[in-house]
Amino acid sequence: MNVSTLYGASKRAGKALTFGILVVPVTVCSAFAEPVVIAALGDSLTHGYGLPQGDGFVPQLESWLKAQGLDVIVQNAGVSGDTTQGGLSRVGWTLGPDVDAMIVSLGGNDALRGIDPAVSKANLAGIIEAGQAAEVDVLLIGVEAPMNFGADYKQVFDGMYGELAAEFNVELAPDFFEAIRDLPADQLRGLMQADGIHPNVQGVAQIVPALGPYVQGLAESAAKE
């Protein structure tokens, strides 16, 4: 039996039918609307390092999206310390059958370790390709490298995100820290944990509204498919 023909289902409806009972009438089945499931593939910034479970980036982002009237579930696929290579190695099982869209926020640990940007770029390309092969919408979030390895390294590293977005025609949020990066030093300290790398609860609360509209666009696009 061809389920997609029988039900005239979209990709998301098809996923619902996978776990449903096929004898349910079409008119009833079409009345159900499932939430858009977004997998957030990232490192400690995504995982919510150093923060209470409900106060990290993913739960705050999900709450922000729901406040905009969106029916979404944001899955936390962040692993502290992860590099782009680590993200590439686990993207396959991150993209479960229920996932409609994916946020990719990786590269910070690559930059801190001085990994060749060409290697990081190839890993990110592999992640995006996996997402597109799974027919999920992808949002790439950029990371700016510190000056530890010089201006030339930083220029190449920072630029790879825009190049990837253009090459694969995916949406780009240029900088995870866009909302707070240019604040005066005393204000910025008040939004960061003691390590100076990870935002505290208040920092995340400022980061999310800046990144939120990008994710909102991702969710709305996925909902139409």
**Catalytic choice (47, 82, 120, 198):** 198
Q: Are residues 118 and 154 in the same domain?
A: yes
Q: Are residues 187 and 206 in the same domain?
A: yes
Strands of the sheet containing 36-42, edge to edge, are: 72-78, 36-42, 101-105, 137-141, 171-173
pLDDT digits over 26-64, tens only?
A: 333 333 479 999 999 999 999 999 999 899 999 999 999
Q: For the domain that residue 113 is a member of, what is the CATH number?
A: 3.40.50.1110
Answer whether 225's CB lies under 8 Å from 10's CB.
Answer: yes
- The closest alpha carbon to 8, from 23, 27, 21, belongs to 27
Q: Is pLDDT of 147 > 70?
A: yes
Q: Are residues 107 and 154 in the same domain?
A: yes
Answer whether 182's CB lies under 8 Å from 151's CB.
Answer: no
pLDDT digits over 11-36, tens only?
A: 444 444 333 433 334 333 333 479 99
**Catalytic choice (152, 182, 186, 195):** 195
For β-strands 36-42 and 101-105, DSSP reports them as: parallel
Q: Are residues 60 and 143 in the same domain?
A: yes
Question: Is residue 44 flagged as an active site residue?
Answer: yes
Measure the CA–CA gap between 143 and 173, rounded to whole angstroms.
9
Q: Are residues 111 and 198 in the same domain?
A: yes
Answer whether 139's CB lies under 8 Å from 104's CB.
Answer: yes
Residues 6+ apart with CB under 8 A from 205: 60
Question: Is residue 175 flagged as an active site residue?
Answer: no
Measure the CA–CA gap between 136 and 119, rounded to whole angstroms.
24
User: Model confidence at 224, in pLDDT bands (50, 70, 90)?
Assistant: confident
- The count of domains in the chain is 2
Which 3 state secondary structure label does DSSP give 36?
strand
Q: What is the mean pLDDT of the chain?
A: 89
Type of residue found at 196 = G
pLDDT > 70: what percent of the chain? Answer: 86
Q: Are residues 121 and 80 in the same domain?
A: yes
Average pLDDT over residues 68-84: 97
Q: Are residues 49 and 1 in the same domain?
A: no
**Catalytic choice (30, 43, 44, 82):** 44
Q: Are residues 63 and 125 in the same domain?
A: yes
Q: Are residues 12 and 71 in the same domain?
A: no
Count of C-beta atoms within a 10 Å radius of residue 151:
9
Task: Look at the chain and count its residues.
Answer: 225
Q: Are residues 2 and 75 in the same domain?
A: no
pLDDT digits over 170-212, tens only?
A: 999 999 999 999 999 999 999 999 999 999 999 999 999 999 9
Write out the residue range of the structural domain in which residue 16 sits: 1-34
**Predicted local confidence at residue 33, as pLDDT:** 74
Q: Are residues 22 and 65 in the same domain?
A: no
Q: Are residues 123 and 178 in the same domain?
A: yes
